[in-house]
């Protein structure tokens, strides 16, 4: 049973990790595309329209990959996690169905019109199609995170005699106190990814002395949006999300911060340290006293519960993984703010486009927002374990009892091979679009 559960979790973790490489770019990029098209309508400068159409090609490629890699996850609800689907389908089925029926079709329908309908529609209606793609993309994220938020903090439900969860308050799904901070934090993080991608491609163009005007436009846009979104990820959205964990999942917060023992007189914030589960301490730690208490409660001496205050049965099942995922996310977020502050300073000094070391740094940082987003989701998911629905349904109770570990491992290996090919194909196609660059057109 333990092997079966391990492979079920590994398969879902792999497929969702690969899948989310794509939506995190499309959600943020859709807003930047709307911005470029809006700038064109205001200024009638052709490069803004060309930029919008160039990035919509990248968006479309990402969108297609997201669809292809998202479908297998839905099947896993019926195969590896059939018991979970049976017990909670009456609730999570609501939001997931709405995401598929409304958001996905809104996004996909108007994506086609944006790509191919500019001459037919005219620029104002063309802008509207881009805005509706953005709306569908962000609505899709909202409904997915509404599902996730119910699993983190279940509301508006009752449990029948047969163990099934049913919804008795539909509005509670969307007034869940977990939802809005998580959604805003996620969307700001997707903006970080898209901003860094846009800035990195622009820096690549400048450093290679090609598409120079578009390179400067992409760098300027990516840096400004990147600074704003990096700050928003930290505060207020990250702060609100962390306070939700403190309030509703205090044992998770203790594990995230590596607090093994409750301390009097305020809790320190750990900058570096390695969890030692056997001895219940952090090895080689570097910490700043009382900061964590102040950030959490605005009180330098506030008490934060350590793991010693909780039953070991409710500890997160992978404390080191949770601790490292959280600290990687926070550490990278801090680096993003620092780099974008430097880049913005050079931008206002009119020296950014000739400061090669910053341009190279922006190019080098391209993969790191993806890593930060991934570790952010790992923090949320590892923090909820050992529960599928927090404090109500354990992960071991949601797995399908009839799917063997051998079958799951076999299909996992198949997914790894297939997704490797898909990833290479994506990189080849994206590289071809980027190398060709935006197409210069004259517009009426």
* Angstrom distance (rounded) from CA 293 to CA 256: 14
- Report the mean per-residue pLDDT for the chain: 94
- pTM of the predicted model, to two decimals? 0.96
165 strand-pairing partners: 159
User: Domain map of the chain by residue range?
Assistant: 2-168+175-262+305-435
pLDDT digits (tens, 9 = 90+) for 384-432: 999 999 999 999 999 998 888 999 999 999 999 999 999 999 999 999 9
Output the pLDDT for position 108: 85
**Average pLDDT rounded to a whole number, residues 208-225:** 97
Distances (CA, A) of 232 to 226, 315, 337, 362, 418: 10, 30, 10, 19, 36
**With bands split at pLDDT 50, 70 and 90, how would you rate the model's confidence at 368?**
very high
pLDDT digits (tens, 9 = 90+) for 324-347: 999 999 999 999 999 999 999 999
Looking up tokens 């793609």 gives 133
DSSP state letter for 399: S
* Angstrom distance (rounded) from CA 376 to CA 63: 21
pLDDT digits (tens, 9 = 90+) for 162-206: 999 999 999 999 999 999 999 999 999 999 999 999 999 999 999
* Angstrom distance (rounded) from CA 15 to CA 414: 11
**Average pLDDT rounded to a whole number, residues 90-95:** 92
Q: Read out DSSP for 194-261?
A: HHHHHHHHHHHHHHTTSSHHHHHHHHHHHHHHHHHHHHHIIIIIIHHHHHHHHHH-HHHHHHHHT--S
Closest by alpha carbon to 287, among 321, 263, 312?
263
pLDDT digits (tens, 9 = 90+) for 258-305: 999 998 788 999 999 999 999 999 999 999 999 999 999 999 999 999
Identify whether the C-beta of residue 232 lies closer than 8 Å to the C-beta of residue 389.
Answer: no
Output the pLDDT for position 444: 45
Output the pLDDT for position 101: 79
Output the pLDDT for position 442: 56
Closest by alpha carbon to 32, among 225, 173, 205?
225
**With bands split at pLDDT 50, 70 and 90, how would you rate the model's confidence at 74?**
confident
Output the pLDDT for position 3: 83
pLDDT digits (tens, 9 = 90+) for 151-161: 999 999 999 99
Query: Residue 157 belongs to what H/E stretch?
Result: strand 157-159
Above 60 in pLDDT, residue 437? Answer: yes
**With bands split at pLDDT 50, 70 and 90, how would you rate the model's confidence at 73?**
confident
pLDDT digits (tens, 9 = 90+) for 236-261: 999 999 999 999 999 999 999 999 99
**Average pLDDT rounded to a whole number, residues 316-321:** 96
């Amino acid at each position: 049973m333990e092997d079966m559960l391990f492979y079920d979790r590994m398969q879902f973790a792999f497929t969702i990790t690969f899948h989310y490489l794509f939506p995190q770019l499309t959600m943020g990029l859709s807003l930047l595309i709307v911005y470029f098209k809006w700038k064109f309508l205001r200024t009638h400068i052709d490069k803004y329209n060309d930029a919008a159409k160039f990035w919509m090609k990248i968006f479309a490629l990402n969108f297609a990959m997201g669809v292809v890699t998202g479908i297998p996850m839905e099947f896993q609800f019926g195969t590896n996690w059939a018991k979970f689907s049976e017990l909670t389908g009456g609730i999570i089925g609501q939001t997931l169905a709405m995401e598929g029926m409304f958001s996905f079709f809104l996004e996909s329908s108007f994506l086609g019109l944006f790509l191919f309908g500019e001459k037919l529609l005219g620029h104002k209606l063309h802008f509207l199609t881009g805005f509706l793609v953005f709306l569908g993309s962000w609505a899709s994220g909202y409904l997915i995170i509404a599902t996730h938020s119910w699993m983190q903090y279940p509301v508006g439900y009752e449990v029948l005699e047969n163990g099934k969860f049913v919804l008795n308050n539909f509005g509670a799904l969307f007034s869940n106190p977990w939802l809005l901070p998580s959604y805003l934090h996620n969307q700001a993080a997707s903006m970080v990814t898209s901003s860094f991608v846009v800035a990195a491609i622009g820096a690549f163009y400048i450093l290679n002395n090609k598409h120079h005007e578009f390179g400067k436009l992409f760098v300027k846009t990516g840096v400004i949006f990147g600074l704003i979104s990096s700050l928003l990820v930290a505060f207020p959205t990250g702060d609100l999300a962390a306070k939700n964990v403190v309030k509703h999942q205090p044992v998770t917060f203790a594990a995230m911060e590596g607090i093994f023992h409750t301390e009097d007189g305020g809790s320190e914030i750990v900058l570096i340290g390695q969890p030692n589960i056997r001895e219940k301490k952090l090895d080689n730690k570097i910490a700043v006293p009382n900061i964590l208490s102040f950030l959490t409660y605005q009180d330098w001496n506030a008490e934060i519960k350590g793991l010693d205050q909780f039953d070991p049965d409710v500890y997160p099942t992978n404390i080191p993984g949770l601790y490292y995922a959280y600290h990687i996310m926070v550490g990278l977020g801090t680096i993003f703010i620092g780099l974008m502050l430097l880049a913005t300073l050079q931008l206002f000094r009119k020296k950014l486009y000739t400061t090669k070391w910053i341009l190279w740094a922006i190019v080098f940082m391209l993969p790191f927002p993806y890593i930060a987003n991934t570790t952010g989701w790992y923090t949320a998911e590892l923090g909820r374990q050992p529960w599928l629905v927090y404090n109500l349904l354990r992960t071991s109770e949601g797995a399908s009892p009839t799917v063997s570990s051998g079958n799951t491992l076999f299909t996992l290996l198949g997914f790894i091979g297939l997704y490797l090919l898909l990833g290479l194909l994506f990189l080849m196609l994206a590289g071809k679009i980027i190398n060709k660059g935006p197409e210069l057109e004259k517009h009426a």
